[in-house]
Amino acid sequence: MWSVRQTHILRSLRILRKIKIMTRLTRTKMRTADECVGISINQLLLTTRTTKKQLGEILGISGPTVGRKIRGEIAWSLNDLYTTADFFGVDITDILPRRVPLSAHNKTPQPSEEDQGAVLVAGAGFEPTTSGL
């Protein structure tokens, strides 16, 4: 029987592993179309709490094969893309990558006039730890 602490540690390790995988997938480099599609589908999997095995059953492939598709190691067919979009209830254009001009990659985003007075705040989990306060 696992203790509550061991269970929390295992959950934390699983989350860190997912973050590591997403970080590896989202590094700034030129990606293939299949890698971009994989990033979009992986985000859908995470937000809907769907497993790769469940998506694989819909596509008629195994969970590990879905993982290889998400990493861009195996190409996505149009049939797979349409089936996946229907499964998640999204339009296929939400899954497909968008073309961005190369000049846009090198620019730092400038705040719009609406954002001039806005203050950026880090999301949950980014709070610094305090000692003894």
pTM of the model as a whole: 0.54
More confident residue, 42 or 31: 42
Q: ∠ CA(86), CA(88), CA(91), 5° rounding? A: 60
Is pLDDT at 25 greater than 70 in this prediction?
no
Farthest-apart Cα atoms in the chain, separation: 58
Measured distance between the N- and C-terminal CA atoms of the chain, rounded to whole angstroms: 36
What's the pLDDT at 30? 75
